Amino acid sequence: MRNQFWFDAVGWAGATALLIGYAMVSHKKLEGDSGAYQALNISGSLLLAANTIFYGSYPSTFVNLIWAGIAVFAIVSKKRVSSR
């Protein structure tokens, strides 16, 4: 039961991070390619992935790991462009 509480908290923190990022981009408080937005995507999706692994929801785990990978790729791509 104690593990369930912590994995639920991790999942809610992840969902909150993703929603904050989405809301901030939607209200033009962050740019969609900003490091802060991508950090919210990476952290939120990894936290949700941990939650979905715990509950055995592997399709959601897959989506969240791909989501984090896209965010990492966006950060790397932006750094390559800005270093030229």
Instruction: Classify the C-alpha dihedral 75-73-36-32 as positive or negative.
Output: positive
Mean pLDDT of all residues in the chain? Answer: 95
For 39, residues 6+ apart whose C-beta sits below 8 A from its C-beta are: 71
What is the secondary structure of 55-74 as a DSSP string?
Answer: HT-HHHHHHHHHHHHHHHHH
Beta carbons of 21 and 64 less than 8 angstroms apart: no
Condensed to tens digits (0 to 9), the pLDDT of residues 6-42 reads 999 999 999 999 999 999 999 999 999 999 999 999 9
- Give the whole-angstrom CA distance, residue 54 versus residue 22: 25
Q: What is the pLDDT of residue 83?
A: 79
Sequence length of the chain is: 84
* pTM of this structure: 0.91
Encode burial over 14-43: b for 16+ CB neighbours within 10 A, e otherwise: beebbeebbebbeeeebeeebeebbebbbb
Q: How confident is the model at residue 67 (pLDDT cuts 50, 70, 90)?
A: very high
Mean pLDDT of 54-62: 97
Q: Where are the domains of the chain?
A: 2-82
